[in-house]
Chain A
């Protein structure tokens, strides 16, 4: 509860700044129109209300976005194609599948890398290189190739999502699994512990803080991947499609509403991971 006041203060400041920015960014349009209509440019007092509820604002005001968000979340039946719940669910399902695939793959690679010298030397640089590939460029190709193999729907999107989320997990886990220091590893060696035992009893527990830090980044990356993956499928449905179609038709209010919906989803997913983190670390006695 202690956090409520600070958050409220910060939010109030941001909202105030937002309104100021909205007036500032939407004003040129009003002046532009006045010039073309050869009318007197409005005074500042007249200007402010004109910037609050434009149809195609450069920056929609918070209340416009909130109204759109509420309307398209609660004002529609969840099966309606204008409902954000409908689009959100499509994106979340691809995100979760991709996140599970990506995390699993990342952890497996990390385990391989710390145990196999050849893998460490050869895979790591290429895993890094793989992330520098602009995913939006190859997403259409992945979809086209999968399509010609007869795979459609959720899986291609999840693969793109996994492609983005495996990397933070890999980097974090390699670091985490290597975090036990020499003394601890030596102790296990004197106990005659096998590699597998060292992994389970020492490396995995000590990697937990690193794992969760990576998972938080990973789940956000998964969401981005799922949204990116929705674009080349013809932007049929999902939050990504909503963003993009808003962009085609210059409906800035819709873009911002979809953006906030996506951010709420992301925040929710990160919150779930954080909750799991707190529970786990507390039980392991690692909470600080």
Chain B
């Protein structure tokens, strides 16, 4: 009961604080932008801790954040090795290959109406294959190491980036294209100077969705066979051993790495699409 009340008080207090902070001058600064979500995150953790303790949830169902934190501190080297295997080797390489391929494909089918009519529906169909299904097949083909994980990531990120880029390339208005035509701009000039910049908000939309998919894809692929290192491997192995604190430690690392990756892409987006209305504050 006490824990329940504590959880509620913490929640209400922190939210009130955040509302005040978000209207204060502090959020104009870079640091202020970090403080507000940080408070929110800490609140969630505290409420979680209180709830787990209050309801006496067994540790094998949901461990409290304090136990998870202790585990992270303790298992640093293991977590780093897993992170390197899954994120740096599998997810990042797959992301780079997949996004590049999707972007180039989008430009290729933009150039040729024939390909656009033929490839896009087929591409939609093939790319809609659920990831879980192709994972065992790709593991069978590309072996157990990071290559198969990267292959899964390639397939996973391809679709969102392709769809968004194709949509983005159509985002110019007839008036704008006519203007380019009156300048007697070539196809490539129009593409580079008008249509690609105009497509960027859409492209980044796809790239951002792909960041989270990449990490999930790499982790999920490890469920279907892997060497004995990697975040997905550790999660399955530890669930069976009831090491739920270790499972959540891996999840925390995944969430942290994924958010940082997303943040990086979002930062590049802000730099490159500063002109778009949605970027104005």
Contact = CB atoms under 8 A, between A and B. Distances in A.
A172 B256 CA distance: 22
Interface in A59-118: 116-118
Contact of A7 (B36, B121, B208): B121
B37 A134 contact: no
7 smallest A-B Cβ distances: which pairs? A132-B258, A6-B118, A122-B40, A266-B128, A121-B36, A131-B212, A10-B118
B123 to A, nearest CB: 9
Given A128-B258, A128-B259, A179-B278, A141 B118 contact: no
Nearest to A122: B40
Interface of A: 2-3, 5-11, 14, 25, 58, 116-118, 120-126, 128-138, 140-141, 144-145, 148, 167-168, 171-172, 174-175, 178-182, 209-210, 213, 216-217, 220, 223-224, 227-228, 231, 239-240, 243-244, 247, 252, 255, 258-259, 262-264, 266-267, 270, 288
Interface string B192-207: 0000000001100100
Given A3-B117, A134-B215, A58 B257 contact: no
Q: How large is the interface on B (under 10, 10 to 19, 20 to 34, 35 or more residues)?
A: 35 or more
Contacts of A267: 124-125, 128
A284 to B, nearest CB: 15
B194 to A, nearest CB: 15
Given A121-B27, A213-B167, 7 more contacts: A118-B18, A118-B36, A121-B37, A220-B128, A224-B131, A240-B130, A255-B133
A132 B215 contact: yes
Nearest to A259: B133
19 contacts: A3-B117, A117-B23, A122-B22, A128-B212, A129-B256, A137-B236, A137-B251, A141-B61, A168-B160, A178-B277, A213-B167, A213-B205, A220-B128, A231-B132, A243-B133, A247-B224, A263-B125, A264-B125, A266-B129
Contacts of A262: 128-130, 133
B129 A259 contact: yes
Interface string B14-27: 01001101110001
A252 B170 CA distance: 40
Interface stretch (B74-82, B99-107, B134-142, B145-153): B134-142
Nearest to B266: A128
Looking at A132, A133, A174, A227, the one whose CB has the most chain B CB atoms below 10 A away is: A132
Contact of B126 (A181, A244, A263, A288): A263
A83 B208 CA distance: 38
